[in-house]
Structure 1
Amino acid sequence: MATGETIVQTDGGPEAAYVPDDAPGPGRLSAWTTRRWLRVGVSVALAVLAALGALGIWALDRSTSLTDQLVDQRSPALVNAIRLEAALVNQETGVRGYGLSGQRQFLDPYTQGLTDERTALDRLRPLVQGDARARADLDGVVDAAAAWQGLIARPVAAAAAKPGEPVPLAIARADEGRAAFDRVRDALTGQQEHLRQARITAGTQLDAAVRLRNSVFTAIAVVIVLLAVLVFEGLRRGINGPLERLGTEVRQVTRGRFDRPITATGPADLRRLGRDVEAMRRRLAEELSFAERARELLDEQSAELKRSNAELEQFAYVASHDLQEPLRKVSSFTQLLQRRYGDQLDERADQYIAFAVDGANRMQTLINDLLAFSRVGRVHNQQSTVDLERIADATEEALSVALEESGARVTRDPLPTVVGDTTQLGMLWQNLISNAVKFRHPEREPRIHVGARRDGDLWRFSVTDSGIGIDPEFAEKVFVIFQRLHTRDAYPGNGIGLAMCKKIVEFHGGAIAIDPEYGPGTRIAFTLPAQQAEAESETGAESETETGPAAADADGATREPRP
């Protein structure tokens, strides 16, 4: 376990939770995550907004209540009090006019006044129901009016009089009537003054409530703006800022600055994210450092391997070249010894001399093959356009005797033109065809087919025979130099042919392998880079011209075997 880490067993099961040692303790604000900050912030904001909303509703309700009181109660009460006064004044005017003139038409204002009085009282009583003072004032007005009406209005209106002459009862009670109606006027004046003061008080309260309402809603708007600013600033400092810093540092790491540490800031979950990214950066830096050291070591080993291979190739070339002369001397003098003294020695001596001659010849062949193998890629390295049709013709011409003796029949697809070394590709073709002839099956007629097809930027070739075949377990071994699957008595050779083929194909940028699924017989498949399409069309036209009617045409017909 890395230092700076703690494994904590959870209550829910055997799973272990990763807790950094530098994690803050529980209950501290630094341990709050982004979700918790957002949850608390939203809760506080909602609580503040709820309180402000309640205060605003109270202020609005108060101003509405005072407005309703002023519009629906105080002002109508004052208006109806004035209407009550006018009705009573009309009654007094009508009664007084009738009492002085005795004419009944003067009682019309009185009669209308009674109706207006009842109407005003019906409207005024509900308006003053909730105000004890207003109710007392109304009762006083009603009592005073009733006293005047009982003393003067109704008796005078009911009294008979001669037209044009005063009513005696009116003259007799003139002073009392005047005093009684003065009391009515005083009651009406007090009532109206009290209602007017109540209306003024309600208006003042309404103005104060409107100002309070406006102040409350202004405060609500200011608090909302402050909350928005606080939320924006909190998000910027607590989330956006740490994320931007983390993103900037991560982008620097992605540009290759693996030595730049990543600082973890912000809420607890963002700090954990930063620490995880920092741990990943350290791991990447360690891996990169290890990979760099491994690459340097690999470069050193590669350089050493190249140097060693160059020395080995130079040694093989020099050794094989320098061994040619003494080996020729041994072979030549052994053969001279056999020819000059063969009839003078016994049969065992002749056998020993034959062994020496055969060993020298085999050694000569082995050195020649090793010399040819070491020259691949060094001596013959002239890259040019190579017509594989001509290479195949030359190969079959060179192997004509072996083909005729074995009865092998060779067919092939139209072969393209590639870029490579003519000599090496000739060696490749000759080794593959000669191997197919050499390892023919004794009970099957030798058949050899050379296939070719285009696959993107590659040409895929195959040499298929009906020979003895190769077991899949030896598919890789046959390409190793000096590796043989049969004794020299069964099949001659030094085990270098397919190794040379592999080296030639890989030198030209291709790959070679045994097809393990083919049978009976052997199929060797290899690839070579394809030339440009123009060169291929020229090759096809040139091949068709040179090979004549026996050549394969574009539909894939194979060539006739060489005679």
Structure 2
Amino acid sequence: MTGDERRSRTRGLSAWTTRRWLRVGVAASLVVLTLLGVTGAYILNRTGTISRELVDVRSPALTVAIRLEAAVLNQETGIRGYGLTGTRDFVTPYRQGVAEEKENTERLTELLKGDSGGLKDLKAVQDAVRTWQRRIAEPVAAEPPGAPSPLATERAAEGKAAFDEVRTALGNQQEHLRADRVRARDELMTTMSVRNWVFSAIAVLIVVLTALIFEGLRRGINRPLERLGADARAISGGNFDHPITPTGPADLRRLSVEIDFMRRRLVRELASSEETRLRLDAQAADLQRSNAELEQFAYVASHDLQEPLRKVSSFTQLLQRRYGGQLDSRADQYIDFAVDGANRMQVLINDLLDFSRVGRVHNAHQSVDLDKVLEGTLSSMSVGIEEAGATITHDPLPTLVADPTQLGMLWQNLIGNAVKFRRPGEAPKIHVTAAREGELWRFTVTDNGIGIAPEYADKIFVIFQRLHTKDAYAGSGIGLAMCKKIVEFHGGTIGVDPEYRDGARITFTLAPQPPEAAAASLPEATRADAEPAR
């Protein structure tokens, strides 16, 4: 075999998978074991056949042949005694011998059925016995009793020769039966020896196959898996540059290649994630700086901007009171515009500061009875509710761990919107519900007002977004955005029910306990935000 042929054959064998190796090995083992099993079954069957022939045929046949000889000898003894003495008693052994001869002959015929040689010997014995009986025994037995038989004396020589033929036939028969028995016994011993060798070979082969299978599994599967496991542990330990060497059958090598490909991809992803983390760290730093600037802006808005705005508002109102009516109508209109703009700016700045403080200043989580919070909110809004003629009902509300101030702001904005956006000429009817859904509580605020078009369902929760002009409905456009921020701070979501058409239905969820993120941020409140606006 050349080097190229050897390498080609090696590559062919190395392309075998674990399943193929197992199939080939199991098939070869089954073929060998089947052949040995068939051989062993044949040997066992042969051993049983020979044993039955020896026990049931050869040995009984020899015994019956000996009994046949005894029966013939009894006949000869009885006839000889009757011929010499004429005493009738000697005929009885002869008659018994004839009966036993017949019985043993039938038995031998049955035992030697299928044995042509044995039947031939039996026929020779029968012929010899019949000749002796016809020439000697029967004529002598027919002589009258009381005196020696002259016929017996006359045919003494012939009778001796005839019975010698009988003896010879019986001897040949017994000799052949003994030889057959010895041959059967020898064949039985040989077959048993072969049987022992075959079963010993089967036992040795099973041991060898077990050892080969164990060694094959160890070399072809266990060792590659152990090496693959060691490589995987090295990688899981943090050594991502550790390569995985493919070994073993083709499928295990493919698995190693795929795991190594996954390792290389993981290395690339880790490198990419590291770059992303660095960028995120930089962005987080930018966000922290931006938050600090926003906090500074909130401080400036609450201190530096409100003070000059109050001065502008105060002096424009003073100008309106002192000089109202002294100037022309256009001047009075300009003064009214200035006063209204200053007031609306004051409201807008206060609403914006309240929006920025959600989750950072009012974060004193405690057990809150929402029934009491809602009643307090309705009490503070009683004047507006009475003026609108509104009817407000609610289901029993649960007790949650939350910020009471923020939940008061939530109810105030939702109830206030339901009262504000009413249909002309129709008294507002508002109903609040609460129901447990899994781990959250779901609340609804339903009114009979002008409703919200489905295309604006998400837009209304964006800060400064308004669906109507400030002349039609007053407001800063911050209320629902603040509601969204409060609900999300408490681990819930808020939205508009698009299926409701008889007004508006706002639905939101709240968690019974504050979320971890909110709890983690409880201690964080800047000094500037904590100071009240002056």
Q: TM above 0.5, one fold?
A: yes
Number of residue-to-residue matches in the alignment: 502
Is the 2:62–2:178 contact (alpha carbons within 8 Å) kept by the matching residues of 1? yes
SS at match of 2:36: helix
Q: 1:451 aligns with which of 432, 436, 441?
A: 432
Per-residue displacement from partner, 1:271-315 (whole Å, max 9, x unpaired)? 666766776777778778766765675565456435423421321
Is the 1:148–1:181 contact (alpha carbons within 8 Å) kept by the matching residues of 2? no
Q: Please report the TM-score for the alignment, with normalisation by the length of structure 1.
A: 0.65
Please say if 1:411 is aligned against 2:392: yes
> Equivalent residues in 2 for 1:231-242 (5 A)?
233=214, 237=218, 241=222
Per-residue displacement from partner, 1:216-250 (whole Å, max 9, x unpaired)? 455556656666x3697489659985998699789
SS at match of 2:464: coil
Please say if 1:484 is aligned against 2:437: no
In 1: Cα distance, 2:195 partner to 2:187 partner: 12
Q: 1:51 aligns with which of 35, 55, 62?
A: 35
Please say if 1:31 is aligned against 2:16: yes
- Report the Cα offset of residue 392 of structure 1: 5.5
In 1: Cα distance, 2:338 partner to 2:346 partner: 12
Q: Which runs of 5+ in 1 are unaligned?
A: 1-23, 533-563
Is the 1:95–1:107 contact (alpha carbons within 8 Å) kept by the matching residues of 2? yes
Larger RCO of the pair (alpha carbons < 8 Å, separation 6+): 2
SS at match of 1:31: coil
Is the 2:121–2:172 contact (alpha carbons within 8 Å) kept by the matching residues of 1? no
Q: 1:316 aligns with which of 298, 307, 311?
A: 298
SS at match of 1:312: helix
Per-residue displacement from partner, 1:140-188 (whole Å, max 9, x unpaired)? 89559847974x667766778983xx66665566667656655665565
Please say if 1:207 is aligned against 2:192: no
> Equivalent residues in 2 for 1:189-228 (5 A)?
189=171, 192-217=174-199, 219-220=201-202, 223=205
- Report the Cα offset of residue 446 of structure 1: 3.4
Per-residue displacement from partner, 1:239-268 (whole Å, max 9, x unpaired)? 985998699789979999895988877765
Aligned to 2:531: none
In 1: Cα distance, 2:141 partner to 2:322 partner: 193
In 2: Cα distance, 1:468 partner to 1:160 partner: 155
Is the 1:385–1:417 contact (alpha carbons within 8 Å) kept by the matching residues of 2? yes
Is the 2:14–2:250 contact (alpha carbons within 8 Å) kept by the matching residues of 1? no
SS at match of 1:202: helix
In 2: Cα distance, 1:91 partner to 1:81 partner: 15
Per-residue displacement from partner, 1:438-493 (whole Å, max 9, x unpaired)? 4443x323325352435366565555544444333333333333333333344444
In 1: Cα distance, 2:399 partner to 2:297 partner: 35
SS at match of 1:513: strand
In 2: Cα distance, 1:355 partner to 1:451 partner: 39
In 2: Cα distance, 1:133 partner to 1:94 partner: 28
Q: Which runs of 5+ in 2 are unaligned?
A: 1-8, 515-534
> Equivalent residues in 2 for 1:458-477 (5 A)?
460-477=442-459
Per-residue displacement from partner, 1:494-525 (whole Å, max 9, x unpaired)? 33333344444444555443444444544444
Is the 2:355–2:482 contact (alpha carbons within 8 Å) kept by the matching residues of 1? yes
- Report the Cα offset of residue 60 of structure 1: 3.6
In 1: Cα distance, 2:161 partner to 2:215 partner: 81
- Structure 1 residues 459-468 or 333-342, which shifts more? 333-342
In 2: Cα distance, 1:283 partner to 1:264 partner: 17
SS at match of 1:323: helix
In 2: Cα distance, 1:390 partner to 1:65 partner: 104
In 2: Cα distance, 1:55 partner to 1:142 partner: 45
Is the 2:450–2:503 contact (alpha carbons within 8 Å) kept by the matching residues of 1? yes
In 2: Cα distance, 1:341 partner to 1:241 partner: 102
Distance change in 2, residues 1:189/1:308 (3 Å): same
- In structure 2, what residue type is equivalent to 1:52? L
SS at match of 1:455: strand
In 2: Cα distance, 1:50 partner to 1:278 partner: 43
- Structure 1 residues 450-459 or 304-313, which shifts more? 450-459
Is the 1:439–1:468 contact (alpha carbons within 8 Å) kept by the matching residues of 2? yes
Distance change in 2, residues 1:221/1:309 (3 Å): same
Is the 1:246–1:264 contact (alpha carbons within 8 Å) kept by the matching residues of 2? no
- Report the Cα offset of residue 352 of structure 1: 5.3
In 1: Cα distance, 2:249 partner to 2:313 partner: 91
Is the 2:435–2:443 contact (alpha carbons within 8 Å) kept by the matching residues of 1? no
Distance change in 2, residues 1:345/1:230 (3 Å): same
In 2: Cα distance, 1:496 partner to 1:137 partner: 130
Distance change in 2, residues 1:246/1:412 (3 Å): farther
Distance change in 2, residues 1:155/1:279 (3 Å): same
Is the 1:373–1:500 contact (alpha carbons within 8 Å) kept by the matching residues of 2? yes
In 1: Cα distance, 2:397 partner to 2:60 partner: 118
Is the 1:239–1:267 contact (alpha carbons within 8 Å) kept by the matching residues of 2? yes
In 2: Cα distance, 1:515 partner to 1:71 partner: 101
Is the 1:94–1:106 contact (alpha carbons within 8 Å) kept by the matching residues of 2? yes
